[in-house]
Amino acid sequence: MIDIHTHILPGVDDGSSSFEESIEMIKEEIEQGVTHIVLTPHVFSKEQDKTRAFHIKQFELLQEKVKDLNITLILGAEIYYRSHIDVNYDDFVFGDSNIILMEFSTSNFHDIESVVYDIQAQGYQVIVAHVERYQYLKKEDYQKIRNTGALLQVNASALLGISKYADKKIVNYLVKHQLIDVVATDTHHLKHRPPNLLDAYKKLKKHYKTDVLELMFNRINMNLINKVSAN
């Protein structure tokens, strides 16, 4: 499995606060069967604490510290959409791919469909982070967003019913109508919002056929992993 939304990179946002904690989180991911982790620190949000240059430095240090573990780390970002900021998305893609993870306000309405359509038109593959949180979306909006070519990501904790941020009715709707493209942990710490991808996989077994389920937890491997592993 690949976890494409994590806050494991230490000392850069509201996620892991130390290399020691990050390493323990990575070991827990490995224990659950995760082979590739995308580190997605917050950018352009109030949670962002460091520059992109610092992200890269921390990423390189963390890679060195876990070089003996059976894991591939990829640097990405969770980009908070702000209409007044002109973003160079190349700075925040997953590894050497064209994939970006976009987050939107949960309280202020955004026309997510139009935003991701414009970004997709620039040549990026957009993943919309934790879509279960945007309560201003109508049911038909989820498929409209997917029709742009963007992918919908849902947090494992939402599927497990343990997320205080998720609307359970939305989660049930997304599961029932098979509108989930990617499942990820959005893990922040070992005790608070821990890695839990395997539990979500087991929970969804009764809702999806094996091939569909495997795709949800490994969807971007062909687009991303081969490139990164070849470097």
The answer on pLDDT for 187 being more than 70 is: yes
Q: Determine the Cα–Cα distance for residues 129 and 139; give it in Å rounded to an integer.
A: 17
- Full-model pTM: 0.93
3-class DSSP state of 91: helix
Model confidence at 219, pLDDT cuts 50, 70, 90, reads: confident
Q: What letter does residue 223 receive in the DSSP assignment?
A: I
Q: Which amino acid is at 183?
A: V
Tokens of 23: 């390493």
Q: Which domains does the chain have, with CATH numbers?
A: 2-230 (3.20.20.140)
Torsional sign, CA 89, 51, 62, 199: negative
Task: Identify whether the C-beta of residue 21 lies closer than 8 Å to the C-beta of residue 7.
Answer: no
Q: Determine the Cα–Cα distance for residues 156 and 179; give it in Å rounded to an integer.
A: 15
For residue 215, count CB atoms less than 10 angstroms from its CB and return exposed for 0-12, middle for 13-18, buried for 19 or more: middle
Q: What is the mean pLDDT of residues 68-91?
A: 96
3-class DSSP state of 79: strand
Intra-chain end-to-end CA distance of the chain, in Å:
20
More confident residue, 192 or 42: 42
Q: What is the mean pLDDT of residues 142-163?
A: 97
More confident residue, 220 or 127: 127
What mean pLDDT, rounded, does the chain reach?
93
Residue with tokens 């659950």: 32
At 229 the pLDDT is 39
For residue 86, count CB atoms less than 10 angstroms from its CB and return exposed for 0-12, middle for 13-18, buried for 19 or more: exposed
Q: What is the mean pLDDT of residues 138-150?
A: 97
Residues of the chain with pLDDT > 70: what percent? 95
The answer on pLDDT for 224 being more than 70 is: no
Tokens of 82: 């702000």
Task: Identify whether the C-beta of residue 18 lies closer than 8 Å to the C-beta of residue 37.
Answer: no
Q: What is the mean pLDDT of residues 111-122?
A: 97
The answer on pLDDT for 226 being more than 90 is: no
At 222 the pLDDT is 47
Name the nearest CA neighbour of 149 among 223, 205, 73, 210: 223
At 164 the pLDDT is 86
Task: Identify whether the C-beta of residue 30 lies closer than 8 Å to the C-beta of residue 71.
Answer: yes
Q: What letter does residue 81 receive in the DSSP assignment?
A: P
Q: Determine the Cα–Cα distance for residues 58 and 51; give it in Å rounded to an integer.
A: 11
At 49 the pLDDT is 81
At 221 the pLDDT is 60
